[in-house]
Structure 1
């Protein structure tokens, strides 16, 4: 590696930060606002809701009218829901920005080609545009996920309407799978920008691809760790709360059949028990880590695809062979 190429790296990073300064400020502001909301949920909102539920439970069984702080209970429910939704939406914001601004707009306006003619190879250009935002996104998403876990934990056992750990939004907002999905969204958006080279289509497609990754991860989630099975009588519900993998009936032959096997027009003479296969709370971290690893593997594949597409579009990565700036492009 030459001294010139080594010296170009800090300049490329500075240029990237300057070019996307509004997005950097916007991300920092979003993290600060979310942090404030989550701290409020963890502290005064949870305390007020817990007191409201204490008052409500104390009223049970009394004949006389009894008042309780319903507004505090509803306020906690609303703001904790807003915060959870916002945290789980972060990967989609990252994907939209990566597709629309990070690569799509730079290729559409010719800014990328301008950089390739100034001693920055396409491969280094892309590496910087993935590495620097990845560090910023990881730091911001990790902080919000950690604060969300603290806020959610504060309501457990104190607020009766607090969401369970296996809620589809709470599960991801509480752990590293959201950080992993944000990185996958960054790679997906960058890839869409490289493929489409237009701002709005790349933005939309990046969000769609990230949504597909999220749905695939949720589909695979219950099956990523050995589950627990509980049995009960045919007229009972098998115990166990968590992420349901499967449930139904057990026949005399030992086969597991779905709940639809028994209906009012189909007697269940061959059924001897009811089963429930699920992931208990003790499996939370194994599920989080395996899900995060799966999403990060997808992110790695998307990053590899980014470099492959860039190489096919630009040919050799030497700056002297970089494509010319398109006619009418902004320079």
Structure 2
């Protein structure tokens, strides 16, 4: 007695294999990019960091009474390598969004490959779900590995290299945590939506790039306001020197009534003249509202949650656009592909 295989059971693995075979070059390129990035980040967090740290120890040991030598080249190599690896990793969502718009959906609709799949019994919803799920797994795995190695490299240099980037540097902040992974997933959904809406590869690529950059900028703009900040106050004579560093949310003057007001522009030639001007405005000190390093984890989680929420909204919008598109393409609707 033989088992009966339903058509749906036959089609489901076929669709997955078809998607993998169709996008095999991109998958191979992505795997190669991740492996290359991982190797470079291991190099950055290992030999380059150790050499630069030795250079900084030599520099700090100098008394400058005599000619002092230190390994400046090692310090500069680390600085350049860090920037060259951090900026592309921060921009990785742009690459994901551009590919999703141009190749994942836009090219398939433009060439008629999607319509061919639908005609062979693959439902549009499952077609889109498969195209989003498989890249999402690859993007999550690859980006998570790179983010982990970047944070490892940054941590190895913290406190050892004088020119190491601070945790609140915008590029460092995102590439050190899960927000880059979440932004890449949001870019994937943005690209899929752009491809379904425009149905042409090149316009979808351009729109995906602009929209992904907008999502990245929105996340960065909202990030300081997603978690309660702390406020520190000092007297006028101490200026901002007694305050703490981190992600600044607001700063200015504190009046006698406790009101926080913006610091007025002072064009005086001396600090004392500026302080007298501030006192005429009833100012008694400075305030600084900011996020310290202890807020790094909460800020990462809230920013990632925001990006994932946007990814969910874009995904729902993509399915709605697909439903409208396939409804218009049905016979008797008066529309053509």
Normalised to the residue count of structure 2, the TM-score between the two structures is 0.92
How many angstroms does 1:87 deviate by? 1.2
Structure-to-structure mapping, 1:29-40, within 5 angstroms: 29-40=32-43
How many angstroms does 1:4 deviate by? 1.6
* Separation in 2, partners of 1:141, 1:158: 27
Q: Which runs of 5+ in 1 are unaligned?
A: 327-331
Query: What is the aligned partner in structure 2 of residue 56 from structure 1?
Result: 59
Query: What is the aligned partner in structure 1 of residue 256 from structure 2?
Result: 252
Change (3 A) 1:321 1:69: farther
Structure-to-structure mapping, 1:268-279, within 5 angstroms: 268=278, 269=280, 270-279=282-291
CA contact (8 A) 1:52 1:73 kept: yes
CA contact (8 A) 1:94 1:185 kept: yes
Quick check: 228-237 or 40-49, which moved more? 228-237
Residue 222 of structure 1 is aligned with which of 209, 221, 224? 224
Q: Which runs of 5+ in 2 are unaligned?
A: none
Query: What is the aligned partner in structure 2 of residue 133 from structure 1?
Result: 135
Query: What is the aligned partner in structure 2 of residue 69 from structure 1?
Result: 71
Query: What is the aligned partner in structure 2 of residue 18 from structure 1?
Result: 21
CA contact (8 A) 1:38 1:83 kept: yes
CA contact (8 A) 1:176 1:288 kept: yes
Query: What is the aligned partner in structure 2 of residue 301 from structure 1?
Result: 313
* Separation in 1, partners of 2:99, 2:320: 21
CA RMSD of aligned residues (A): 2.0
How many angstroms does 1:128 deviate by? 0.3
Change (3 A) 1:317 1:122: farther
Quick check: 307-316 or 182-191, which moved more? 307-316
Quick check: 180-189 or 61-70, which moved more? 61-70
Structure-to-structure mapping, 1:138-177, within 5 angstroms: 138-177=140-179
Q: Does 1:108 align with 2:110?
A: yes
* Separation in 2, partners of 1:179, 1:6: 32
Change (3 A) 1:128 1:324: farther
Task: Provide Cα deviations, 1:132-167, integer angstroms capped at 9, x if missing partner.
Answer: 100110000000000000000000011111001110
* Separation in 2, partners of 1:111, 1:244: 50
How many angstroms does 1:62 deviate by? 2.8
Task: Provide Cα deviations, 1:210-233, integer angstroms capped at 9, x if missing partner.
Answer: 111111111111111111111111
Q: Secondary structure at the match of 2:44?
A: helix
* Separation in 1, partners of 2:118, 2:158: 54
How many angstroms does 1:46 deviate by? 0.2
How many angstroms does 1:255 deviate by? 1.1
CA contact (8 A) 1:138 1:183 kept: yes
* Separation in 2, partners of 1:40, 1:275: 42
Structure-to-structure mapping, 1:197-212, within 5 angstroms: 197-212=199-214
* Separation in 2, partners of 1:263, 1:6: 76
CA contact (8 A) 1:113 1:322 kept: no
Query: What is the aligned partner in structure 2 of residue 185 from structure 1?
Result: 187
Change (3 A) 1:137 1:325: farther
* Separation in 2, partners of 1:323, 1:308: 20
How many angstroms does 1:321 deviate by? 9.2
CA contact (8 A) 2:183 2:216 kept: yes
Normalised to the residue count of structure 1, the TM-score between the two structures is 0.93
Change (3 A) 1:127 1:324: farther
Query: What is the aligned partner in structure 2 of residue 329 from structure 1?
Result: none
* Separation in 1, partners of 2:160, 2:9: 56
How many angstroms does 1:49 deviate by? 0.2
CA contact (8 A) 2:329 2:335 kept: no
Structure-to-structure mapping, 1:74-113, within 5 angstroms: 74-113=76-115
* Separation in 2, partners of 1:323, 1:91: 38
